[in-house]
Every structure is written in C-alpha cells, then in structure tokens.
Structure 1
Amino acid sequence: MKLWDKGQGADAKTDQFTVGQDRELDLLLVQYDIQASRAHAQMLGQAGLITGEEATSLITALDEMAEEVTAGKFTIGSDFEDMHSRIEYLLTERLGDTGKKIHTARSRNDQILVALQLYLKAELSGIRGQVEGLFNRLMTLAEEHQSVPLPGYTHLQVAMPSSFGLWFSAYAESLIDDVFLLNAAERVADQNPLGSAAGYGSSFPIDREMTTKALGFETLKYNVVAAQMGRGKVERTTATAMASVAATLGKFAMDICLYMSQNFDFISFPDHLTTGSSIMPHKKNPDIFELIRGKCNLLQGLPNQLFLLTTNLTSGYHRDLQLTKELLLPAVEQLKSCLEMATSSLAEIRVRIDILKDPKYDYLYSVDTLNERVLEGMPFRDAYREMGEAIAAGTYKPVTDAKHTHQGSIGNLCLEEIRAKMTQALKG
C-alpha cells in the first residue's frame, strides 16, 4: 500500500530503490507517528472535521496499535511503503471509512517531521541522561583519585605534574559543554511542525495550537514553509550535538588506549574488559575503547554528511531528505552504546599510584622549580634561563612539593563547582 498510489504502481526495482531502509528504520519511529496521529484525530474531532464518535474510534484503534508496538508485534511488511501507509491500512481495516479519514489535513511530509522530532526529543533527553551518568562516574573517580599523581603531556612530551583527579574531572567538565549543545538541539526539535501538511498548509480549519499542547511541544513552527525547511536542519543540529559528545568520548578513549599500553602503564582493567591475541598470550587489548574511539570518530563526520546531503536543496520537500534517517537513526544507537560501555567499564578502572617515582618524570617539576626562583624575587626570564642551563648541565634538582592552589589546578580541583555547573546545565 502506498498513500500516493492512484492505481498505477511502480515496478519492483523502483519500489526497492525508493523505499530504501524506510521499513526497518520506521520501526524506531512508529510509536511517535502513532502518538502524532492520535493528537491529529483528537484535533479533527474538536474542529468538526470528523465526528466525535469517529475521533474516539480512531484514538482507540491507535491506542491498541501503540500497545502492539510496545509488545514488539507491530510489523511493516513489503506490501507497505512505510509506517504511514501501514498505520492507515490498519485503521481502515479495523474502522472502514473512518480509518480513511485520518489523513485529512495532513501529508506524509508533516507526518514524518512530527514523528522524527518527537523521536529526537526523546533520544536527546536520553543521551543527556547517559552523559550525566558518565559525568557522575568521572566525578566519583576524580574524588577517589584526586591526589594520585599523573604526568601531564604536551606534544606527547613530559610537561607538568597532573593528577588522576584532574584528568577525570577534565573530561567531566568537558561533558558540560556537550550538554549545552544537546539542550540547543532539543530546543530546535521542540517545535511542532504538524499541520504544515506538504509544506503549504491546507484549507481545513485545523487547530495547530491544540496539537502542539497535546504532543508536549514547547511551541509550534508557525510558518508552514519554515516547518518543512526544518527537515534536514533538525537532523543537522542533532548531529552536531552528538558529534560534540563523540569528540569528548573519543578523545577520552584515546587517552585510555595510550595509558593502558606497556610504555605508559598508568591504568588497567580486569581481564573480562579486555581481549587477547590469537598468537600472543600476553596481550590484554583495549578493544572496548578502541571501538569507542573508532565509532566516535565516525560520528564526528555525521554533521558533514548531513550538510552535504542537504546543502543545495531549495525550500519545499525533496526525496533526498529520506536519506537523513539512514544516517541519523543508526548514529543515535551507536552513540548510546558508546556511552553505555564507557560508563560501565570505568566502574572497574585501576590506576597506578607510583607513576612519578620513575626518574624520567623529574622534568615535570621544571616549571614549579623555576617558579620557586621567581617567588624568591628572580625575574622570570632570568629564572627560565638559569633552569635551562641547569637541565643542560645535568645539575637540575626538582622541587617536588610546590603547591598548586588556584581554581582548577591539581591542588584545587573545584569538584563541587563543576558539579553545580552540570546541575545548572541539565536544567537547560
């Protein structure tokens, strides 16, 4: 069944090419299409476009369909183009002519828009919750290991003293920036496009404010052309926020992989969180974090893919936009799985407490030693030159007990302030 079929169906090759992955992907969206159809039926009844009895029948049938989705019994067979055609077919099968009235005053264009935006609102909220979970895990680790020393690096060269507390809380606070972007993406999605129909509204006296409230949108997308122009834009905005989370997570995964190598040996995980080699019995590979790194690197390319797909499209609907689902929906699942694995694995991370006993890390303290000279009254540039000469001559003796007291330093992590900032960010 195709909602646009006027009696002359497409051939099999055309059908296969144009439908693409819609049937599979729509199973992720169908609960939201049913939710929107329910609100639409209620609005049609109140606007007098269908009778109250017809509205009640449609709502009851849609509620039953929603239960089938929850139970995993809802399917979209090859006879149907997408979830829209399947839902309308089932309504007509159960209600006769009343089922055929559900499409009054709407189009598949605003149907998919509203379903997609309801889906993205829910998924963005869920991702934000997972980010909060990772944040809390990192902050707990920062508190537990705040005084455990760790070498700091620039250019992958030994640089200055750091700590596990500083490292863990650095990624925790970075996640707050990602929450800001998730909030922004949710705001873009939180505008009701239902009623824009094919992008130019309709002559039916519909009540778009009513469906906006019924569906829990913050506001509606007033201009019907602007509503349709949101297709592609809402996906790009969401992808940008997801890419930001992925960038933070991918960088952290790279640190994990580096610090687990025998050359560093700063951290380790239990055997059940690592993998081995088919020929090297000593191997404990960080496959979980390597895959997180790889998946997150691919996720960072998602906004560019969506920009390339949509960049030269005029206003109004184009079939190209169907492809946004094939890019975005699997990416949502990938990011969620990466967040889940990172958070659960970190519960079992083990850190080394004696790293800085190795003499090669004495140079971490060159800046602190230099600063001691400055505090004693020596001009900075003279102290810098003197320190360089001592290092070159092999007479350098590090000062290892210098205090770092300013906000955000190894001696003053400001963990409570970081927690308060995240609390505020989560409020939107």
Structure 2
Amino acid sequence: MAGLRVLRGLLGRLGAPVLSQGITAGTSLLLQVLAARALGLGEYGAFAVYLAVLVSATALYTGYVGDSLAVLDRRDPRIRSALSASALLGLALCFAVGIVTSLILRHGDYVAALLYATMLVGWLLEETFRRVLIARQEFWKLVWNDTGYLLGTAVALVAWFATGAPVTLPMLFAAMGVGTITAIVLGFAQVPPSERRGVRLKAVRLSGLAEVAAFAGWRSLHATLRPAAQLAARVLVANLLSFTAVGMLEAGRLLIAPLQVVVNGAGGFLLAGFAAGERKGRADHGLARRAAILLTGATVLGGLVLTVFAHPLGTLLTGQPVDPVLLLGWVAYLAVWAAGLPYVTEVVARKLARTVFTVRLADSVAGLALAATVLVLGGPVAAVPWLLTAGGLYSAWRLGRIALRTRQVRGDEKTVRIDLEATMRFPPV
C-alpha cells in the first residue's frame, strides 16, 4: 500500500509537466498529421528532416543554456552573464544552420529558408523562457505558455485555410512562427523580473564562461545525441532507400507520440527535482527507481494497445496503414529510453555530464552502425527502430549502475566526481 501511495504522489506531481508536454506534442502532432495528409509521404519525409534539425538544435541549445539554468547557480552574476552570452551566440549559430539546412533540402527556395531559420530562432527563444519556468519548478505557468503556442499556431492555420490556398512547407513554418511569438510574449510576462534583470554582457568573464562550459558543454552534447541519432537514421534511410521510406518510418513514430509526451514531461520534472534536491542535500534516492518502473510500464502497456490498432490509427493519422512490426520497434525504443531516463537525470543533476555523454555516445554509435549495416544489406525500414533500441539497452543498464554508485559515495564530493569522470571516459561498448 505504501508503494501505491508513493506512485500516486509521483503521478500527481507529474500532472503539470506531462500536460505541458502534451500540449506541445499535440500541436506538433497536428502539424505532422496535416503535413502527412496534405503533402504526401515524399514531402512529409522532407518535413520530418526539417523537424529533426529543429529538435537537434533545440537539444543542443537547451542542453547548454536551459539545463544550466536548473543545475548551476543562475543567480550568480558570473553565471548569468556567461549564460546570456552563450544564448545569444547559440541563437545566431542556429539561424545560420537553419538557412543552410533549408537551402540544402530545397535548393533556391530562399523564402522557405528565411521562414524556417526565423522560426527556429523564435522556437529557441521561447524555449529559454520555458526552461526558466522549469528551473523554478513552476510547471502550471509552463502549461499556460505552451497553450499560447498551441493557440497561436492554430489561429495561423485557420487564417491560412480561410484563404483557400494549398498547404505548403513554408506555410507550416510560418504557422509555427506565429505560435512561437505568442509563447514568447507569454513567457516574458510570466517570468519574474528578478530572472531578467542584472544581466550585463559587458561583465562576461572567462571564469564564468569556463564554469558554465565545464558542465554545459558535455550536457549539450549529451542532450543532442538522441535527436542527432534519429536525424542520422532519417538521412541513412533517405539516402539508402527514399524519402518515402522516411515518411513510413515517421508514420510509425507519430503513433507513439502520446507515450513520448509522458516520458518527455517526466524528464523535465525529474531533472528540476533532482537538481533542487542536490542543492539542498536532500536527494530522494528512490525516486529514479520508482519513476523508471512507472514510465516503462506505462510505455509498454500503451504501446501494446497502439500496436493492436496500428493499421486503422495509421490510416487515420497519416492516410497510410502502419506496419505493426515497425510500430512495436518504436515502442521498444521508447520503453528502453523511459527505463534509463530517470537515472540520466539523476546523474546529470550531480554534474556528471561528461560521464553521461560517453555512455550515450556508445549507445548512439552502436545503434546507428547496426542500422546502417542492415540497410546496406537490403534490410527493411521496419528494422531501424529495433536496431536503435539495441544500443539503448546498454546505456540504461550502465547509467543505472552509475546512479547507484554515486549515491553510495560520501565524503569529498569534488574528488568523487573527478574520479568518476576519469573512469568513464571510454566506456566499453
């Protein structure tokens, strides 16, 4: 009975962050369904690559800036100035990446390139406000912020449909841009003035930049690994098979979006909670295990239900039936990620970002190598998520062991962390 009460309490605390992720994912689902049904599988495959670049850029930026807001002392003037300088540089680089990516995918389409790059910068600026709210553990304000994104995007889509013009990729980017502007305004209004004032870029010091980079550099690389691996998998499928095959791959992933909402929402909640516990010296060492059981169980059960209805759900959402084997592969991939996520956030909260990166790098490289080998040998696209899952099994097990080991160590915290980083530099694959 005590265990059930603990799980009920955990579910209650997860309500707001999961709802927040649900709103954001619901908006993304709306856009992806619209793209899949209106653009066809080929153009939908291109749209999926655009989204993969967006997700990768977001992971890199929020891993460096956003997670640093939660784990580091953002009230320290040195840290605040260093994070502000890092954010501005990150936004400029992502604008350039957006332009280049779009011109590669749609050669000569400068309108689409400008819309996509501008939307990408707006998305990251919106994400900055979201991460401040997450760091403050004000998850219900986060819900309002994400609701603004949904409403802004929906209004833009309705206005476009009223003109009778066809659905195009630039139109989708513009609608997303309207949603991000709405969310930015709400985020600015909801973040307290104390979080915005006192930032002076002229006061940026090398010591502050070095302290931020020591954590954020490895954390951002780690946060980028998973979306980058999925982007690489899409590129492999596009080159070895076709954009239509990418569309088939994405159609299967689209069906598990509701499950991914729960996992992603839990990730933000857990990192903020573990970071707060570490700062106060009151970390809940049983939280990771309880969260892993809850998230993995919910993912497996929900995934089995979705697999049973793979054909009708695929037809409803994308206009094409989805291969149950492909869908079950994505369920397995997400279940393994859900099992390891609580331990990832626990170890990251202890600032062992390089350790997590090296483990996850081995996971990603192994999965991509397996996928590339099978595709070159003529394997089906349905095998891709299964092969990506294989690497994830290693990281879930390894990070669970690291989390347990760091709980048991006491004494000089600085010495402990240096020793752990040294032993985990090149983990066995």
Query: What TM-score, normalized to structure 2?
Result: 0.30
Instruction: Compare the two structures and name the one with the higher helix fraction.
Output: 2
Query: What TM-score, normalized to structure 1?
Result: 0.30
Larger RCO: Structure 1 or Structure 2 (Cα < 8 Å, ≥ 6 residues apart)?
2
Instruction: Compare the two structures and name the one with the higher strand fraction.
Output: 1
